[in-house]
A and B are shown apart, each in its own frame.
Chain A
Amino acid sequence: MADTKPKTVGMPMLHKVIFAVMLALLCVLPFVIYPVFAMKVMCFALFAAAFNLLLGFGGLLSFGHAAYFGGASYVAAHAAKVWGLTPELAILTGTLAAAVLGFLIGSLAIRRQGIYFAMVTLAFAQMVYFFALQAEFTGGEDGIQGVPRGDFLGLISLQDNTALYFFVLAVTFGGILMLYRIVHSPFGQVLKAIRENEPRAISLGYQVNRYKLMVFTLSAAFAGLAGATKSQVFQLASLTDVHWSMSGEVVLMTLLGGMGTIFGPLVGAAVIVSLQNYLATFGAWVTIIQGVIFVLGVLLFRKGIVGVIAGWLRRPL
């Protein structure tokens, strides 16, 4: 673990290049493929990156991240449709709601470790699911449909897919850069210390539970940002987004791409969303294939796609 290289300030060159290439490609993408599909991928990439902050860097496996993703999508959809908020305010409201929910659930969940932590988060997420199923404003089985796309800042109409695309690009790319910053901040370093050796971090005087709660809340907030943005893209908030299978999907994306890497969750999200898109006609086979990827990933491929590439390059990615 001894790192003798001097610590570079700011982003390493390699990461800068990758982010720049990614941004350039994303600017061309809507003219090559269907923009709504590309927006879906970006939302899930942010969702997986938010989840990875918790699992990959905090070492905490939440099996209930659909609660924040879906919860925020309901709140944002409600804010845009019923309260008539502009898209950026609706998304902000959804994100805040997810942060509050994450804080509440997180403060209970961090009282247990490891496997119990996963079960507690899953159980609370199921509670949120039942709430969404029964509450008045969520529309039960129908969800919230026909969410208006509105005008960005009240000025720029997002009716057009291309305009919306660049709005979503700004939100998700900005979110991912913020997550990058968090991971590489002193806060992120303490998180890694806790992940590697919790008793040692405690003995060094860190308030471990406070850090855990903070990273949980942050992760929930960014998951919420992704979910809220998705509800504006699809003009819909539905039970799918709060269901446990969604929590499983984000775990799968992160595992496949490479947990604890910066770019892994983005790759994982792109692969899984594409898979669902192109295999949609095969019905239940999508679930089976996801299950197979899970099993093979755990047995043979624990580093994930980006983790393996990073191993070849001998650089963190």
Chain B
Amino acid sequence: MFELLNISPQVLMGQLLLGLINGSFYAVLSLGLAVIFGLLNIINFSHGAQYMMGAFVAWMLLTYVGIGYWPSLILAPLIVGAVGIVLERLALSRLYHLDHLYGLLLTFGVALIMQGLFRNYYGISGQPYNIPDALSGGQNLGFMFLPNYRAWVVVASIVVCFGTWFMIERTRLGAYLRAATENPVLVGAFGINVPRMIMLTYGFGVALAGFAGVLAAPIYSVNPNMGADLIIVVFAVVVIGGMGSILGAIVTGYGLGLIEGLTRVFYPEASSVVIFVIMAIVLMIKPEGLFGRTS
């Protein structure tokens, strides 16, 4: 028994931090999925590819134009969001009257195209992206070493998550959005341009993915496949949390990241599947998801 619990605090805290980092990405990505799903009723399969694109746009801005990390943190999500808006106007908007599964299939195809294009031009080896100078180094907290950049990722993602939550749940614009989620026809009848709102919502959700991509660029190498496997885990996160509530998506994201980190300490072999196992358990006990509404 002592043998089992004989884990140094450094290892434990290190893995918890890693879990928190992963959780930050889960939270921001599942938040974007939930925002899009709320209004468009589609699952954005290209979310992982758009996350990858955010990282690549940041890298390209640096390499070809010389624009550094901080401006990229704003610019890259804007660019990714703009590309998303074009996609919504040209393709997705033609599918709203059909079964929602077509939206899933379309965005899957888009993901294949994006990943294929980046793989074609940049290979799969990955491009390095340096940590900005202001955030290099770290703090020695006594019981562990905390790299500044990782602390920044956690803080930035929390700020973005709660900013989004505040905007949707506490502002007038958010009220329109929630109303349109409930009944788009009625909201349209009140003179609100619902199609434009749908377009901007998709752009915003996609921009969140792009933002996560820029955050991830200095941690993981920037490569065309970085979003593909991640997005499947995020899907599981979304199934566990249920997409009914914004706060639910955020809490589930961080929580599962931490659980994954803990698993890596106590039973490393299971760390890659623990989220899927939790999904199976949730499906057995509460099929609509922890924060989901019964359909």
Give chain A residues whose Cβ lies under 8 Å from the Cβ of B95.
Answer: 298-299
Q: Which A residue's beta carbon lies closest to that of B101? A: A61
Q: How far is the CA of A248 from the CA of B119 in the complex (A)?
A: 18
Contact B273 A61 (CB under 8 A): no
Of B100, B235, B280, B284, which one neighbours A114 at CB under 8 angstroms? B100
Whether the pair B109, A298 counts as a contact (CB closer than 8 A) is yes
A302 within 8 A of B: yes
How far is B218's CA from A111's CA once the two chains are assembled, in angstroms? Answer: 40
Chain A residues near B176 (CB, 8 Å)? none
Interface of A: prevailing SS? helix
Docked Cα-Cα span, A119 to B276, in Å, equals: 11
Q: Please tell me if the beta carbons of A295 and B110 are within 8 angstroms of each other in the complex.
A: yes
Give the number of residues in B that approach A within 8 Å (Cβ atoms).
45
Assembled-state Cα–Cα distance A108/B228 (Å): 24
Q: How far is the CA of A290 from the CA of B112 in the complex (A)?
A: 7
Task: Tell me which of A119, A283, A292, A302 contacts B43 (CB under 8 A).
Answer: A119
Tell yes or no: B283 within 8 A of A by CB: yes
With beta carbons under 8 angstroms apart, the residue of B110, B111, B119, B284 that contacts A108 is: B284
Q: Does B174 contact A (CB under 8 A)?
A: no
CB of B110 to closest CB in A, whole Å: 6
Task: Kindly list chain B residues whose C-beta atoms are within 8 Å of the C-beta of A123.
Answer: 232-233, 235-236, 239, 276, 279
Does chain B have a CB within 8 A of A46?
A: no
A244 CB within 8 Å of chain B: yes
> Contact between A298 and B102 (Cβ–Cβ < 8 Å)?
yes
22 pairs of residues in contact across A and B, judged by CB atoms under 8 Å: A61-B101, A111-B284, A115-B43, A115-B101, A123-B279, A124-B276, A124-B279, A126-B232, A127-B276, A244-B228, A248-B108, A248-B112, A284-B116, A286-B116, A288-B116, A288-B120, A291-B109, A292-B113, A294-B106, A294-B109, A297-B109, A299-B95
New A-B pairs, 11, CB < 8 Å, besides A295-B109, A299-B106: A61-B101, A108-B283, A118-B104, A119-B43, A124-B279, A124-B280, A127-B277, A290-B112, A294-B105, A295-B113, A298-B102
Q: Chain B residues in contact with chain A, CB under 8 A?
A: 37, 42-43, 91, 94-95, 98, 100-102, 104-106, 108-117, 119-120, 228-229, 232-233, 235-236, 238-239, 269, 272-273, 276-277, 279-280, 283-284, 287-288, 295
